[in-house]
Chain A
Amino acid sequence: MKNYKKLFYLFGLVTVLAACNDAIDIDQPGRLDADAAFENVADLQAGLFGVYANYDLSGEIAFSSIFTDELSIGFDNGGQGLADYGFVLNAGSTAPATFWVGAYGAINSANRLIEAAELITPEAGEEDQYNSILGQAYALRALAHFFLQSYYTTNYEDDNALGVIAVDFVPTIDQQLLRNTNGEVFGLIGDDLDRAASLLGTDTSDPTFMNIDAVNALRARMAAYRGNYTLAATLSQQLLDKYGLANRAQYEAMFLDTDNTEIIFKLERTNNDPYDGQGATGSPAAGGWAGARFAFVDATLAGSPYFEMGRSLFNLLDPADIRYDVNVAPTSLIDPDYATNNDPATDILVIQKYPGSEGQPLMNDLKVFRSSEMLLIRAEAYADAGSINGATNSTAALLKQLNDARFGTDTTLPVFANETEAFAAILDARRIELSFEGHRYKDLKRLGARANQGVLKDPIDCAFNGACTLPASDFRFTLPLPIVEFNANPGLREQQNPGY
């Protein structure tokens, strides 16, 4: 009897101990361990799609258009964007945090892919794909660093000024890095683009991926930003020659995502991708359909446009210009006497740059580099070199070339009295051509002084808050480093941009 009892307790003990591990050693299903994530070139390709998914222009589009003079508060506005619209910008604002965190997230993903690729040897026949993946990863890392540079450094042309933190490795969580100089960051970007150029093939048929032309377009833009107009001229001319300008039909189709004539690189946006949604409305946090930056529902009068086109921009648009048709929704209500009538209900300028595609209102591909931008960079280079007038090889000639394409007629050749006028014309041309594409803020920052221009809203658009003008020399044309970074990296507080 006693033995039985012992046996019983022994049995109990065994049950208890066996059960123990079953309760505390649990592997959740569906987990992908880091060391199993990238095992071959196909995995790297999937990883590259993940890297691209970090790239978005919607935040830039929102911020640049609200903060500058591209739009006005719509009749259907529910309080969206009032702070940015009133030039309120500080270390706690949304744009500095979103841009900073978003771009470093993109850089981190590119670095992880580059590190993973180092451990993989491509199978025979996969070398080109492997090189292309790696080349795109370098190009994307350069693109994100350049994006950060364009917002957080005070002076693009000064290599000794503070740039952003250059990160070409996978960091550890305890790292607290300080800012590099512009020279260092632009150096890294240049090296990355060189690496990318050496790895990318010659195929440029798909403008939705970073190819060699996109690398050169980035080089051209960077050269222009940095005032290195010799290089900018060469590269922009090459690309302009290759792509040319779209005709009026192609131009319209481009913004319906059915024509790529002028497109060097664009970010694809499609049904059910990570950006297929409304995103944060009225905020640079954005993240959804590009058109949802201006309207809740669609790009028509009935689509609840919470932002409308700014009157000062609208007044620059000629109805004969195809860009009028592209930018202004036909359902808009246009009051020629808006200034005297002063009735928001009779003058509703609905922004139509992102009408939607693939059956999804407001969802459009995000154009990163277009050949018209190359033309305008070339025009800048001419202006910088003093070739402002003349029927060929001048700023005036290029601006006429652009207008001819957009109007579909032979337009008059402009004549500029001086360099300031020429730069002002370039700035206006960029304002029209690249409206709502996220350029205006950076253009004012770098060209505003030479063009003697700043933010200029129509008085009707700023009567309610008095925030009508902002000179290009204002400190707010450089974003502050965000508080969210200071929390982890307090040493950076010492390196905050001036004015904040």
Chain B
Amino acid sequence: MKSKLTWMLTPLLVLCMSFSFAQEKSISGVVTDQNGMPLPGVAVLVVGTTTGTQTDFDGNYTITARVGQVLRYSYLGQKTVTRTVGAESTMNVQMEDDAEALQEVVVQGYRNSTKEKSSIASVTISAETIENRPNASFVQTLSGQVAGLNITTSTGQPGAASNVNLRGVTSINGNTQPLYIIDGVPVDEDNFRSLNPQDIASVSVLKDAGATAIYGNRGANGVIVIKTRQGSFNQGLQVNYTGILSFSTLQDNDYNLMDSQEQLNLEALRGAGRGATLTDQEIALAPTFDWANYFFDTGLTQNHTVTLQSGSENFTQFTSLGYFDQEGILQDSNLKRFSIRSNTTGKSENEKFNYSTNLTINYSESNEPNSIGSGAINRNYILGAYQSVPYITPDDYTNGADLLSPLLFSNTPLFLIDRLETFTRKEEEVKLIGSFQAGYQITDNLSANVTMSADYQNEIETEAEGPTSFNALLFGGAENPTSGYQDQVSIRQFSYNQVTSLNYNNTWGKHTVDAGVYSEYFKAHLRTFGFRENGLDPKTFFPGDGAGFIPAFVDQSTGAQLFVDNPFATIRNAGLFSVFSQADYDYDGRYGITGTIRRDASYRFAGSNRYATFYSVAGRWNIDNEAFMENSFFDVLKLRASYGTSGNQRISGNTYFSAPDLTRNFFATGSGYGNNNSIFLSQIANTTLRWETVTQGNVGIDFELFNSRLRGSVDGYVKETSDLFQSTPVSAINAVTQLDANTGTLTNTGVDLTLNYNILNGGDDGVNLVLNFVGNYNKQELDELPSEDGELIGTGRNGGKLFEYFSIRYAGVNPANGNLLFLDANDNITENPDADTDRVWLDKNIYPDFNGSFGFNLDYKGFFFQTQFNYTVGVDRFDFDLSGFQNPDNIGQFRSSRDLLRAWTPDNRITDIPAYDAFNRASFASDRYITDADYIRLRFASIGYSFPARLLEGTGLSRLRIFGNAENLFTITKWRGFDAEALNNTSRLYPTPKTLSVGFELGF
């Protein structure tokens, strides 16, 4: 009976409830900013419920609420407003700018500060300058955007790692790349191809010791802190889609290469190659084929990103899905990537506890041809593109077997066509980066924090040379008709990092103190295994599959062991442990000082010097906040200074795991004489091994003038690496001729300058024009080199540049006989210099003296136009490609430059090209091909239109933007090759492309 009553009463209760809901009323109004302009997108929430809405483009909103309930209006950069619902049904709200939130946040290692209160030298790049660029890796996009950050990309392989040096190179053999921290996770700096640049919210580059000392023995090369996007609290769901389509093409060269007629006539003249066997008429009829156009073609890239973000009172989320598919300009090179990211933040009701999680899962697949840069005519596609003779055409290709006889160098492009058809090299990668951060406010001033993070990547490489390929047939020979091989290698790397801290901050009167003690634990594990299968059955072979594997056997007739396979595996572990502390004090927003001390232990030095201590002190004076500056034209004027140390424990090799135990003597076992297992010496111990220390002093000024129309900063620094880990010659009686030891110093001295000037300030309806300039001057100086005379060939000399070239000087062509002339050490002209003693230091190296960028941002109403010109001064590189094109000994086999047509002859005595038969043409390594590789390049240009909100009304869209981009559109340089940018002296490289893109962004 009782239960029945309940049943009967229930509808009544519901009715009652409905009745009270009916009491709610509709409230509407307009939300404006402090200037009275309507604010679209303001989140309006009934506190304590899930009811919420957003203002439209005119700032209007409508919401239902009961009298007495509280409405909360929140918008990024505005102070949150709360209003209690009263009798009125219209509630107009005027919001105020939130000055503190609008202050640019300065990332400072393990904490944040405001721009005003920061004492360190750092630059933060916001998402706007990173997103929508067609580069697979965001690092490439950063090029030229930060003073002192020199980024060069030496290959056009999609997703390949760039070389990044902050304020010069600080190590010879060790890691020279900055430490990258993504959402608190230290990550492998060589691998960003799997990360979607569209997820990045900001990139901060920490430059001086004041900023990097807190990273201890990982901070020597600077630190790059990356934050990914987050949702905001109390924000409705926002969905964004960005799509970009790009077309990449080969950059131009200036080698002035011969056509078939010129090439064949030259061959006929020299009695070499096909030209020597053809009649004049046959030569005239020969086709000219452009092999560069064959091995390179237009690469298409598509890039799609969907993001969803939202937030409630205590929880936010950001989700992104990305798909990126880039074809390299080189055949058989590409990158496909699928990425997912989920970032959440949350906090307790009383705001004492907060946490965040960041998780990204990425899968990428890329085809990466190898042997790039090598002289292998049967393997390097680039060689085929540049050096193939133009009179051979793809029609000459039939199959690999037909190329075996006659085996001619001039068939280079045909070998490579065969390789394109029969060779596979693919890398698949799964990369996960996750982090969890939590903080608890123990008292008003004291909080405990923890960041736990992990970086996992599993890379699987598959490489196969098919059994019917030219290469397999060539090297297999008649004995092994089913040759060919397949490599499969799996490389797994996991690293875990945990930072635990206790932080204190307090403000009283004009004093503010912020201090923390921290401990950091880092552990990394590498596991690789793989095999090379030799012998593939062409009937069942497919790259990556094992059906065609042929087991090893002994050929009874010859005794040959055929198809012996080669398995391999590696285990490496690495670890670091540190404790550190930082304290920051501010007085009245005018003076500040920050001190850091860190004690670090590295597994690498366990047998010698395990612990190291690093420290820094940084101070600032906010001159503009002084009373005497009241009426000056300076809006901001801040003087900064810092001094301190940081370390590099990765002194050799480029991974966490390289050179793990150099402090010990080792023998190894393996194949010896007669393929018997043997024991042999593998490592001679260095018992005094230690980290490299970088001591840096920095003085900087930040300024804003004329109502902040001119903004900038200038920093001067001196950065000295001591205990430089470098090759030290030892007598060959030790079975080696060099051992690495901590000796010598390398000093980088320089200036960073950043300037922005708003020439035109037209506001929303007028023209806005901002000029930008970023520059760095850096000078290197080596000292205390480990040799008697202070010179180390290959490294440099005391007082000289790093990797300064040391060579015989080329002095032109002898008009008397066409031989090459050189200068000996005493500046006398000679045809026969001494290859040892006539070499001199040339005061040139591959690193720039000046580099940076300039450009402008222009916008008018919704239209925008932006350019960035990168420049580099003081780079000298060997142009070995040119050396090949000008080499008379290559005639008949490879392509020549028209330069050869002006070679010395008795009738043409004054020339820069030696006689074809000059006796010393191949005798001496000289500086003949060291070329000035300075350049100015239109690195980036973008043009587009953002549709104004009113045009989108009623379309369901909140945002619509279309744009076109260009990367590397043109380059002004004396360098004659395809890409002036590469930081490399190798010839036949894969150049970075020129790229044009179109894209659009939609917001819902």
List residues of chain A with CB under 8 Å of any chain B CB.
12, 16, 19-20, 22-34, 37-38, 43, 46-53, 55, 76, 78-79, 82-83, 86, 88, 90-93, 100-101, 104-105, 107-109, 112, 165, 167, 171, 173-177, 208, 267-268, 270-274, 276, 296-298, 301-304, 343-345, 356-361, 464-467, 480, 483-485, 487-490, 500
Pairwise interchain contact A297-B521, C-beta atoms closer than 8 A: no
Pairwise interchain contact A49-B672, C-beta atoms closer than 8 A: yes
Pairwise interchain contact A29-B917, C-beta atoms closer than 8 A: no
Q: In the complex, given contacts A50-B681, A467-B919, what are 20 additional A-B residue pairs having Cβ atoms less than 8 angstroms apart? A: A12-B500, A22-B575, A24-B575, A29-B571, A32-B679, A83-B923, A86-B923, A88-B923, A92-B925, A267-B673, A271-B675, A274-B673, A344-B271, A344-B272, A345-B276, A358-B560, A360-B479, A464-B917, A484-B737, A488-B729
Pairwise interchain contact A24-B836, C-beta atoms closer than 8 A: no
Pairwise interchain contact B603-A359, C-beta atoms closer than 8 A: no
Segment at the interface with A among B90-98, B252-260, B661-669: B661-669
A174 to B728, CA, bound (A): 10
Specify the chain A residue showing the minimal Cβ separation from B521.
A19
Pairwise interchain contact A82-B679, C-beta atoms closer than 8 A: no
Specify the chain B residue showing the minimal Cβ separation from A104.
B732
Residues of A within 8 A of B500 (CB): 12, 16
A79 to B606, CA, bound (A): 48
Residues of A within 8 A of B675 (CB): 270-273, 276
Pairwise interchain contact B660-A175, C-beta atoms closer than 8 A: no
Pairwise interchain contact B834-A90, C-beta atoms closer than 8 A: yes
Specify the chain B residue showing the minimal Cβ separation from A29.
B571
A487 to B661, CA, bound (A): 26
Partner of A50, one of B479, B577, B678: B678
Given A108-B735, A171-B731, is A20 in contact with B671 using a C-beta cutoff of 8 Å? no
Pairwise interchain contact A92-B835, C-beta atoms closer than 8 A: yes
A171 to B836, CA, bound (A): 27
Residues of A within 8 A of B917 (CB): 464-465
The verdict on B574 contacting chain A, using a C-beta distance below 8 Å, is yes
Pairwise interchain contact A49-B677, C-beta atoms closer than 8 A: yes
Residues of B within 8 A of A25 (CB): 603, 606
Pairwise interchain contact B737-A485, C-beta atoms closer than 8 A: yes
Partner of B407, one of A76, A91, A344: A76
A12 to B448, CA, bound (A): 12
Pairwise interchain contact A32-B669, C-beta atoms closer than 8 A: yes
Partner of B733, one of A92, A104, A359: A104
Pairwise interchain contact B660-A26, C-beta atoms closer than 8 A: yes
Given A90-B835, A173-B734, A297-B407, is A487 in contact with B793 using a C-beta cutoff of 8 Å? yes
A343 to B405, CA, bound (A): 19
Partner of B922, one of A27, A43, A83, A360: A83
Given A76-B407, A272-B564, is A52 in contact with B673 using a C-beta cutoff of 8 Å? yes
Pairwise interchain contact A24-B610, C-beta atoms closer than 8 A: yes
A-B contact pairs, 10 of them (CB 8 A): A26-B606, A28-B572, A50-B678, A267-B673, A272-B561, A274-B672, A358-B558, A359-B558, A464-B917, A489-B731
A28 to B887, CA, bound (A): 49
Specify the chain A residue showing the minimal Cβ separation from B566.
A272
Most buried by B among A24, A301, A360, A465: A24
Residue-wise interface mask of B (592-624) relative to A, using a CB-CB cutoff of 8 A (1 in contact, 0 not): 000000000111001000100000000000000
A12 to B973, CA, bound (A): 59
A208 to B917, CA, bound (A): 46
The verdict on B890 contacting chain A, using a C-beta distance below 8 Å, is yes
Kindly provide the distance from the CB of B840 to the nearest chain A CB, expressed in whole angstroms.
14
Specify the chain B residue showing the minimal Cβ separation from A359.
B560
Most buried by B among A83, A173, A296: A173
Pairwise interchain contact B793-A53, C-beta atoms closer than 8 A: no
Most buried by A among B682, B731, B733, B893: B733
A127 to B793, CA, bound (A): 49
Segment at the interface with A among B113-121, B285-293, B784-792: B784-792
Kindly provide the distance from the CB of A19 to the nearest chain B CB, expressed in whole angstroms.
5
A187 to B538, CA, bound (A): 60
Interface residues of B in 253-306 (CB under 8 A from A): 271-272, 276-277
Interface residues of B in 478-523 (CB under 8 A from A): 479-480, 500, 519, 521-523
A360 to B560, CA, bound (A): 7
Residue-wise interface mask of B (351-377) relative to A, using a CB-CB cutoff of 8 A (1 in contact, 0 not): 000000000000000000000000101
Specify the chain A residue showing the minimal Cβ separation from B571.
A29
Pairwise interchain contact A20-B573, C-beta atoms closer than 8 A: no
Residues of B within 8 A of A344 (CB): 271-272
Partner of B680, one of A22, A50, A360, A484: A50
Kindly provide the distance from the CB of B790 to the nearest chain A CB, expressed in whole angstroms.
12
A480 to B377, CA, bound (A): 34
A274 to B561, CA, bound (A): 15
Specify the chain A residue showing the minimal Cβ separation from B728.
A488
Partner of B672, one of A27, A52, A167, A171: A52
Residues of A within 8 A of B479 (CB): 359-361
Residues of B within 8 A of A50 (CB): 672-673, 678-681
Residues of A within 8 A of B730 (CB): 173-174, 488
Residue-wise interface mask of B (862-890) relative to A, using a CB-CB cutoff of 8 A (1 in contact, 0 not): 00000000000000000000000001011
A345 to B738, CA, bound (A): 46
A353 to B794, CA, bound (A): 39
Pairwise interchain contact A78-B409, C-beta atoms closer than 8 A: yes
Residue-wise interface mask of B (563-603) relative to A, using a CB-CB cutoff of 8 A (1 in contact, 0 not): 01000000111111100000000000000000000000111
Residues of A within 8 A of B681 (CB): 50, 108-109, 112
Pairwise interchain contact A20-B922, C-beta atoms closer than 8 A: no
A90 to B836, CA, bound (A): 7
Residues of B within 8 A of A483 (CB): 793, 836
Kindly provide the distance from the CB of B720 to the nearest chain A CB, expressed in whole angstroms.
25
A304 to B408, CA, bound (A): 7
Residues of A within 8 A of B889 (CB): 79, 82
A485 to B558, CA, bound (A): 44
Kindly provide the distance from the CB of A28 to the nearest chain B CB, expressed in whole angstroms.
5
Specify the chain B residue showing the minimal Cβ separation from A484.
B737
The verdict on B562 contacting chain A, using a C-beta distance below 8 Å, is yes
Kindly provide the distance from the CB of B924 to the nearest chain A CB, expressed in whole angstroms.
8
Pairwise interchain contact A32-B668, C-beta atoms closer than 8 A: yes
A86 to B819, CA, bound (A): 14
A48 to B673, CA, bound (A): 8
Residue-wise interface mask of B (17-44) relative to A, using a CB-CB cutoff of 8 A (1 in contact, 0 not): 0000000000000000000000000000
Interface residues of B in 523-562 (CB under 8 A from A): 523, 555, 558-562
The verdict on B714 contacting chain A, using a C-beta distance below 8 Å, is no
The verdict on B676 contacting chain A, using a C-beta distance below 8 Å, is yes
Residues of A within 8 A of B561 (CB): 271-272, 358-359
Pairwise interchain contact B666-A46, C-beta atoms closer than 8 A: no
Specify the chain A residue showing the minimal Cβ separation from B602.
A24
Q: Give the 9 A-B CB pairs with smallest separation, nearest first.
A: A359-B560, A23-B575, A52-B673, A50-B680, A488-B729, A49-B678, A49-B672, A108-B735, A37-B667
A38 to B574, CA, bound (A): 29
Pairwise interchain contact A24-B673, C-beta atoms closer than 8 A: no
Partner of A500, one of B792, B836, B922: B836
Specify the chain A residue showing the minimal Cβ separation from B408.
A76
The verdict on B475 contacting chain A, using a C-beta distance below 8 Å, is yes
The verdict on B739 contacting chain A, using a C-beta distance below 8 Å, is yes
The verdict on B684 contacting chain A, using a C-beta distance below 8 Å, is yes
Pairwise interchain contact B792-A487, C-beta atoms closer than 8 A: yes
Interface residues of B in 967-998 (CB under 8 A from A): none
Residues of A within 8 A of B521 (CB): 16, 19-20, 23
Pairwise interchain contact A28-B409, C-beta atoms closer than 8 A: no
A176 to B737, CA, bound (A): 12
The verdict on B674 contacting chain A, using a C-beta distance below 8 Å, is yes
Residues of A within 8 A of B789 (CB): 490
A243 to B270, CA, bound (A): 52
A55 to B575, CA, bound (A): 40
Pairwise interchain contact B564-A271, C-beta atoms closer than 8 A: yes
Pairwise interchain contact A175-B733, C-beta atoms closer than 8 A: yes
A273 to B670, CA, bound (A): 10
A104 to B735, CA, bound (A): 6
